[in-house]
Structure 1
Amino acid sequence: MRTPARLRSARAVSVAAASGAALTLALAIALPTVANAATGSGSRTQAGAPSATPREPVVPGTCTPVVSTLPKPSNELFTSAQESAPPDTARIQAALNSCAGTGKAVELKAAGGNAAFLSGPLTIKAGEVLLVDAGVTLYASRNPADYQVVGQPKCGTLGASDGTTMGTATGCVPFIAVRGDNSGIMGTQSSAGAQGLIDGRGNQTMLGTSKTWWALAESAHGKTTTQQENPKLITVFGTSNTTMYHISLTNSPMFNVLLDRGTGFTAWGVRIDNPDNARNTDGFDPDSASNVLITDSFINTGDDGIAVKADAGGPASGITVSNNSFWGIHGMSIGSQTEGGISNVTFSGNYIHGGKDIHGNTASSNNGVRVKSDSSFGGTVSGVSFVNTCETGVKHLMLIDPQYLSGNGSAVPSFADITVNGLRSVNSTHGSSTLDGYDAAHPAGLTLENIQLDSTKVVAQYAHIKTYNVNIAPTGTGVTVTPFTGTGSVPSCSSFPSWPGL
């Protein structure tokens, strides 16, 4: 299926490419800012219009093609010899090493009936793109030993946790590590809309065991002293100007895409599919990152669709999440780590399909607009806006929660300035909203504007709330509500995009 017209329409306005790039990488990236949130069109009535959108990335020319020698297996499993020693690791990495700094792509290509690659961990360096052709699948190794970090807990096991690390398991390197500026991961897109695919095989048993990566994650659920040592699918390590474009990701063993600091990241037309029972498979986690744009993407996953975080290492700011569609997610979220401070974040024109994921699994945590933290890793959240959001089948329509995990630390969350402007919910028979501040000394500062919910139950405490054109009436301990004269209107949300497939 092609990208819906309401998404393509957001691509018209260009901005100047980022200056100061060390290389002329033909990605047509601009460093996104909050003002660059895409407007969208079609079934929504916009409450406000931002000034411009970045121009769409461009796939660079090929530096080196790497041709497949493997047919796609029907069950995602290869021969024992191939599983024990993935045959494509060395030749893909050699191509990446040789193409670094060229501004061009290492292209994974099909040949005849062969369209599969089986690889251990890979590293993308500065000034290059890993390009996966439409119809080609890059499969990740099932061997935990391939991902082992020397001196760290054993990859593929439960490691020790103090209950506050929140998914920062250290025993495994990611399947793909992006470690250079002006780089990217891309796919070509066929006329039918198919994209290149990266399969983490989190649903398959780890080599030498009877347990899948996902089962290992589930076995750690609810425990405070252990956590799963699973590899992330993709981690971007502190780079500048990284792009993901028209690439599909599936079956990640843990987070799909972690941005570990850095500035200037664009994800455009990315598709992510992990079922609801795949624990901790967040879609995108910008962590202490800045100048981030995630747009025109489709995300079905077993945890947060987006989770903007800021750990003690630094703030997160200048982040735009626009014109995306989510299924079965635990939230379009800020947090849970907010210790480094989160500011200037805009979610604009997004659709949330709650209740079930695309595979029919009931969502274990069914949330829409969400801000979460607690005193173990809390900090200030300010200048965060959720604009023109459409929700269907969502249970927790707005969930503002500063005591997410009942932390007992001293890093108290401060939700100082959060705006929800333009929100409509439909098909939420059992829906409700929670609008909480931490305590009387740390009240939430909320602006609610142009909101029409089909389930108006709301609980609130310790919150100063400004309202315009809303159909909910928050009350509770320490709650003040002040009407104001706003502008705009509620989005119409008359139709929701369909899942496009991988």
Structure 2
Amino acid sequence: MKVIRNLLIAAILPFSLLAGCGENQKKQEQTDDRAWEVADSIRTLIVEPSFAKKDFVITDYGASSDSTKLSTTAINQAIEACHLDGGGRVIIPKGTFLTGAIHLKSNVNLHLEDDAKLLFSRNTEDYKPLVKTRWEGMECMNYSPLIYAYGQENIAITGKGILDGNANSEHWWPWKAKKEYGWTEGMDSQLAAVKKLTQEVKDGVSVEDRVHGDGYFLRPPFIQPYNSSNILIADVKIINAPFWNINPVLCENVTVRNVSVVTHGPNNDGCNPESSKNVLITDCYFDTGDDCIAIKSGRNEDGRSIGRPAENHIIENCEMKDGHGGIVIGSEISGGAKNIFAQNLKMDSPELDRILRIKTSSLRGGVIENIYMRNVEVGTYKEAAVLVDMFYENPGDFMPTVRNITVENLNVKKGGKFGILINAYEESPAENLKIINSTIEGVDVPIQANFTKGMQFDNVLINGKMISEADIQSSSDAEFEKF
């Protein structure tokens, strides 16, 4: 493994150096040519964990398929026994098992057999004690994620069963304080807690003293391995999440394979790798109430102080339906993002807002660079095929950088409002955005951009017209305020 890692470093070092030389067009072209070779090198580092051939069936520890009776203790006892015995599979057999928080341990594969379902409790008491978690990129003590691991290695969730978060417009979702999710005037919500936590982060309050939980209404993520490594999530179907679905935080060597995420609640992002390195998301299906895949690296002070970028991600052979964006970077991106590769994707929904979306602000800061997308087939979308937005939230003192983005072989049958939409700072333009061999049909505005540097179009047709830099439509800040 060390030899492979050294080879990767040798491959990426010149790649990174070249990517920083935006003034030299020849070097930038060389960088683009080598990009997918770097992706192949990254792929060699992402190895699925393996497990001992021993099974621990939760019914042997007292779990009941009577879905009115909690099986939390039995499931966690089976996990502990498996872990202490050197690892193996913890089996969820056919049936529906009601549970609270499940905490994975090293060398344990939580395996759902066919027709098995884990139905998660709606009682907040079943997600205590509070644990160290990230909530929208901010560290705090909060309710446990539904499935959680901290400081573990070689862990998995596999099998063709169902993970049901049991959230709806009467449970969990109203905490968002949106009427379309069941909230009404006078109901409790997360708004005060989000404001409080944001201030605690700004003030540098220790994580142990950022205590939330009862009375704060911060919904827990569904699956959150934290500070862990060698992770596999495969074949399961995930529905009805309270909040984000798959959210590895500060993790390394993560594979998400053949997973189906279908959930339309608030902030129901499909997969959010956060400040994680060497991540593969492949052969997955996303139909979500928010971004399908959103790559993140921490919000504001937490993202900058920890300083762990999202790095070396490969996304391929996935299908996206509803969502705010198909492939998204941000907005909690203060630690930066680099070396992100997405290929062989299908997207199609009038409720899919964007294909590639980069969202940040001068409140976030950070460097987003070396983003490569190719071979994307799109039926329709709502807003923009490619969106770079540096004004996603209120301004601050940390100017973001967005550079070196290449989109190749993007084919859209029926676009939305915009083809390409860029809203950047004059002092920090979007640099080296390249669209190559792509066709976008049926958009209202082919290209709208304010501040760019080195933007290129090579064999790009929008609404049947070959596009050049001369076709860019400049825009005022007022025009951008709508998006």
- Would you call these one fold, judging by a TM-score over 0.5? yes
- Superposition deviation, residue 440 in structure 1: 3.5
Matched, 1:349 2:349: no
Identify if the C-alpha distance between structure 1 residues 167 and 219 changes in structure 2 by more than 3 Å, giving closer, same or farther: farther
1:240 to 222, 226, 229: 229
Aligned to 1:427: 414
Matched residue SS, 1:201 = coil
Give the number of the structure with larger relative contact order, counting CA–CA contacts within 8 Å between residues 6 or more apart. Answer: 1
Matched, 1:120 2:108: no
TM-score normalised by L of structure 2: 0.73
Aligned counterparts of 2:171 and 2:428: Cα–Cα separation in 1:
46
Aligned counterparts of 2:49 and 2:399: Cα–Cα separation in 1:
40
Aligned counterparts of 2:124 and 2:441: Cα–Cα separation in 1:
47
Describe the superposition over 1:155-182 as per-residue Cα deviations: whole angstroms up to 9, x where unpaired: xxxxxxxxx9567675321011023101
CA contact (8 A) 1:463 1:478 kept: no
List alignment gaps of at least 5 residues for structure 1: 1-15, 21-32, 35-46, 72-77, 154-163, 188-194, 205-210, 356-362, 480-502
CA contact (8 A) 2:49 2:230 kept: no
Aligned counterparts of 2:120 and 2:356: Cα–Cα separation in 1:
33
CA contact (8 A) 1:437 1:443 kept: yes
Aligned to 1:100: 83
2:292 to 305, 323, 328: 305
Aligned counterparts of 2:190 and 2:162: Cα–Cα separation in 1:
33
1:197 to 148, 153, 162: 162
Matched, 1:469 2:459: yes
Aligned counterparts of 1:401 and 1:223: Cα–Cα separation in 2:
26
Q: Which amino acid aligns with 1:335?
A: G
Describe the superposition over 1:87-130 as per-residue Cα deviations: whole angstroms up to 9, x where unpaired: x11111001001116241101112xxxx1111110110111111
Aligned counterparts of 1:343 and 1:460: Cα–Cα separation in 2:
23
Aligned counterparts of 1:64 and 1:19: Cα–Cα separation in 2:
35
Q: Which amino acid aligns with 2:276?
A: A
CA contact (8 A) 1:100 1:127 kept: yes
**Identity %, equivalent residues:** 24
- Superposition deviation, residue 442 in structure 1: 3.7
Identify if the C-alpha distance between structure 1 residues 297 and 445 changes in structure 2 by more than 3 Å, giving closer, same or farther: same
CA contact (8 A) 2:48 2:231 kept: no
1:403 to 391, 398, 412: 391
Aligned counterparts of 2:190 and 2:49: Cα–Cα separation in 1:
42
Aligned counterparts of 1:478 and 1:171: Cα–Cα separation in 2:
43
Aligned counterparts of 2:246 and 2:447: Cα–Cα separation in 1:
33
Q: Which amino acid aligns with 1:69?
A: S
Aligned counterparts of 1:328 and 1:226: Cα–Cα separation in 2:
29
Aligned to 1:255: 244
Describe the superposition over 1:4-39 as per-residue Cα deviations: whole angstroms up to 9, x where unpaired: xxxxxxxxxxxx89999xxxxxxxxxxxx99xxxxx
Q: Which amino acid aligns with 1:342?
A: A
CA contact (8 A) 2:414 2:440 kept: no
- Superposition deviation, residue 427 in structure 1: 2.6
- Superposition deviation, residue 231 in structure 1: 1.2
Aligned counterparts of 1:225 and 1:145: Cα–Cα separation in 2:
21
CA contact (8 A) 2:287 2:323 kept: yes
CA contact (8 A) 2:190 2:218 kept: no
Identify if the C-alpha distance between structure 1 residues 427 and 60 changes in structure 2 by more than 3 Å, giving closer, same or farther: farther
1:215 to 174, 184, 194: 174
Aligned to 1:335: 330
2:271 to 284, 288, 293: 284
1:178 to 132, 137, 149: 149
Matched residue SS, 1:349 = strand
CA contact (8 A) 2:418 2:447 kept: no
Aligned counterparts of 2:90 and 2:56: Cα–Cα separation in 1:
5
Matched residue SS, 2:126 = helix
Matched residue SS, 1:291 = strand
Count of matched residue positions in the alignment of Structure 1 and Structure 2: 391
Aligned to 1:322: 316
Describe the superposition over 1:20-66 as per-residue Cα deviations: whole angstroms up to 9, x where unpaired: 9xxxxxxxxxxxx99xxxxxxxxxxxx97865867888786343112
- Superposition deviation, residue 376 in structure 1: 1.4
Q: Which amino acid aligns with 1:475?
A: I
CA contact (8 A) 1:348 1:386 kept: yes
Aligned to 2:198: none
Describe the superposition over 1:188-233 as per-residue Cα deviations: whole angstroms up to 9, x where unpaired: xxxxxxx2111000127xxxxxx32112224399996554511111
Aligned counterparts of 1:118 and 1:93: Cα–Cα separation in 2:
13
Q: What are the within-5 Å matches in structure 2 for residues 22-41 of structure 1?
A: none
Matched residue SS, 1:281 = coil
Aligned to 1:390: 377
